């Protein structure tokens, strides 16, 4: 089967004996939560990443370290493990090889095409705007600095600049005037997921807010989580909250857009659909990730089943009919203050003095400046109060160099 869909649920079994086996491509904090949820069904989990001791590797049954952009290494690992499912949890993967492996019969979640299109901003933007006719910001593409400069002038200032082969805000910037063009171009060529290359230049949208609409595609059809609002800093999420308040008509339009995109991508699993909400009630499509979303960490405290549990159920061929949110909550990301090896965390006891607060330390073996290392989660009666509690808890935690020595940076 090559569609990514499973018409019958797996027969579950015993790890190392007869359990379904999942090869997890990406072993960060999101992959770690997915691994744990899969293991609740007795699934054998093999975690892969480009560095050793990644968070998901610490809980998986087995792990492999290799550059997942290396097609030969990816194929060799797949042939060695013979997984029942391959689950991409990051963008930097040799998606061309996934497409070839899927054609040979490998099951990729949700599909290899979805992994390919959503890593390639050109592919997903053309799919959304040109094939599906969904509302998006105006855009142009450029391969050289000269083409980029011309595109920026055609689009007008300010404009948004993003590497085509990237996601999660990596390499993204806003050029507010011609004087910003060199810096924006250089960032796009050095900070993307796969290095230098083609960029997309977007119209700057003056949006009222930005949301993530977690969309679950399962054997039971399409289900939605309540919308998640979020704040970003330099392309990375720093806070999220659920639910994000929005008019019912605007929510219905957001769900329509999300369903169109996810149905076109196909397969089973949870998708993080990012949308701009405009003050006039319009909704613009921004991006989609065919996997749990970092802003969705808040669901660990707000929903009966987190985004990770929903993803696990859906990819295993189990039905998800309704998503139940039982609390209003927020998350705040704790980021590294600098280059650290074997980080240590102080103040956790003080942070959880508030009995409405939880802390998740990801266990990353080292850190570069502003790398996300942990998250505080809080619930309350209102979004504003939950956000305040999460921020207070985060600010009580101090991260310092561990015993492994410093990283030259």
Would residue 226 show up in a list of annotated catalytic residues for this protein? no
- On the question of pLDDT at 330 being above 70, the answer is yes
57-91 pLDDT, tens digit each: 999 999 999 999 999 999 999 999 999 999 999 88
Instruction: Assess contact for 44 and 21: CB atoms under 8 A.
Output: yes
- Out of 372, 387, 389, 394, the active site residue is 372
Average pLDDT, rounded, for the chain: 93
132-172 pLDDT, tens digit each: 999 999 999 999 999 999 999 999 999 999 998 765 667 88
- On the question of pLDDT at 4 being above 50, the answer is no
Domain 138-203 has CATH 1.10.230.10: no
**pLDDT of the residue at 97:** 97
- Quick one: residue 156, left, alpha or beta (phi over 0 = left, psi -120 to 50 = alpha)? left
Mean pLDDT for 330-343 is 96
**pLDDT of the residue at 2:** 39
Instruction: Assess contact for 182 and 173: CB atoms under 8 A.
Output: no
Would residue 372 show up in a list of annotated catalytic residues for this protein? yes
- Out of 97, 113, 210, 274, the active site residue is 274
- CA separation, residue 105 to residues 111, 220, 311, 318, 382 (Å): 12, 24, 22, 21, 48
**pLDDT of the residue at 342:** 95
98-133 pLDDT, tens digit each: 999 999 999 999 999 999 888 778 889 999 999 999
For residues 302 and 409, the model is more confident at 302
Look at the domain 21-109 and name its fold.
Rossmann fold (3.40.50)
- Out of 287, 313, 329, 394, the active site residue is 287
What 3 state SS string does the chain have?
CCCCCCCCCCCCCCCCCCCCEEEEECCCHHHHHHHHHHHCCCCEEEEEECCCCCHHHHCCCEEEECCCCCHHHHHHHHHHHCCCEEEECCCCCCHHHHHHHHHCCCCECCCHHHHHHHHEHHHHHHHHHHHCCCCCCCEEEECCHHHHHHHHHHHCCCEEEEECECCCCCCCEEECCHHHHHHHHHHHHHCCCCCCCCEEEEECCCCCEEEEEEEEEECCEEEECCCEEEEEECCEEEEEEECCCCCHHHHHHHHHHHHHHHHHHCCCEEEEEEEEECCCCCEEEEEEECCCCHHHHHHHHHECCCHHHHHHHHHCCCCCCCCCECCEEEEEEEECCCCEECCEEECHHHHCCCCCEEEEECCCCEECCCCEEEEEEEEECCHHHHHHHHHHHHHCCEEECCCCCCCCC
6-62 pLDDT, tens digit each: 456 789 999 999 999 999 999 999 999 999 999 999 999 999 999 999 999 999 999
Q: Percentage of residues in the chain with pLDDT exceeding 90?
A: 86
Q: How far is 285 from 148, CA to CA, in rounded Å?
A: 23
Would residue 167 show up in a list of annotated catalytic residues for this protein? yes
Q: How far is 378 from 388, CA to CA, in rounded Å?
A: 9
pLDDT bin (cut points 50, 70, 90) of residue 236 is: confident
**Rounded to the nearest 5°, which phi and psi values hold at 132?**
-95, -15
Would residue 133 show up in a list of annotated catalytic residues for this protein? no
- On the question of pLDDT at 406 being above 80, the answer is no
**pLDDT of the residue at 195:** 60
Q: How far does Cα 311 stand from its chain's mean position?
A: 12
Instruction: Assess contact for 334 and 29: CB atoms under 8 A.
Output: no
- Out of 166, 167, 331, 380, the active site residue is 167
Would residue 394 show up in a list of annotated catalytic residues for this protein? no
- Out of 123, 169, 363, 402, the active site residue is 169
Q: How far is 6 from 315, CA to CA, in rounded Å?
A: 8
Q: Which CATH number fits domain 209-400: 3.40.50.1110, 3.40.50.800, 3.30.470.20, 3.30.930.10?
A: 3.30.470.20
What is the residue extent of each domain of the chain? 21-109, 138-203, 209-400
- Out of 27, 184, 289, 295, the active site residue is 295
247-268 pLDDT, tens digit each: 999 999 999 999 999 999 999 9
């Amino acid at each position: 089967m090559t569609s990514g869909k499973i018409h019958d649920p797996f027969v579950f079994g015993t790890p190392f004996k007869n359990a379904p086996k999942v090869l997890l491509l990406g072993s960060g904090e999101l992959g770690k939560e997915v691994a744990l949820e899969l293991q609740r069904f007795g699934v054998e989990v093999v975690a892969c990443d480009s560095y050793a001791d990644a968070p998901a590797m610490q809980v998986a049954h087995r792990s492999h370290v290799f550059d997942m952009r290396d097609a030969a290494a990816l194929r060799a690992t797949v042939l060695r493990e013979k997984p029942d499912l391959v689950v991409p949890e990051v963008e930097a993967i040799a998606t061309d090889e996934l497409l070839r492996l899927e054609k040979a019969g490998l099951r990729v979640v949700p599909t290899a095409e979805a992994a390919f299109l959503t890593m390639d901003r050109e592919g997903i933007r053309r799919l959304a705007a040109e094939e599906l006719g969904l509302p998006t910001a105006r855009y142009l593409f450029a391969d050289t600095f000269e083409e980029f400069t011309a595109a920026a002038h055609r689009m007008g200032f300010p404009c948004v600049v993003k590497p085509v082969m990237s996601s999660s805000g990596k390499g993204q910037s806003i050029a507010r005037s011609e004087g910003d063009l060199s810096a924006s171009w250089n960032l796009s060529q050095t900070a993307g997921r796969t290095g230098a290359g083609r960029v997309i230049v977007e119209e700057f949208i003056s949006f009222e807010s930005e949301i993530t609409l977690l969309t679950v595609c399962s054997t039971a059809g399409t289900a939605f989580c309540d919308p998640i609002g979020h704040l970003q800093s330099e392309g990375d999420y720093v806070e999220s909250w659920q639910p994000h308040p929005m008019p019912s008509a605007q929510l219905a339009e957001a769900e329509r857009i999300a369903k169109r995109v996810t149905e076109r991508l196909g397969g089973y699993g949870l998708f993080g659909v990012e949308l701009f909400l405009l003050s006039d009630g319009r909704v613009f499509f921004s991006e989609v990730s065919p996997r749990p979303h970092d802003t969705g960490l808040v669901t660990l405290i707000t929903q009966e089943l987190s985004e990770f549990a929903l993803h696990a159920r859906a990819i295993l061929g189990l039905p998800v009919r309704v998503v139940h949110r039982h609390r209003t909550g927020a998350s705040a990301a704790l980021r590294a203050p600098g280059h650290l090896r074997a980080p240590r965390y102080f103040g956790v006891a003080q942070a959880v003095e508030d009995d409405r607060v939880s802390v998740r330390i990801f266990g990353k073996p080292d850190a570069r400046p502003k790398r996300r290392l942990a998250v505080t989660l809080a619930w309350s009666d209102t979004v504003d109060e939950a956000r305040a509690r999460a921020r207070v808890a985060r600010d009580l935690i101090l991260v310092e160099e561990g015993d492994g020595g410093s990283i030259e940076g």
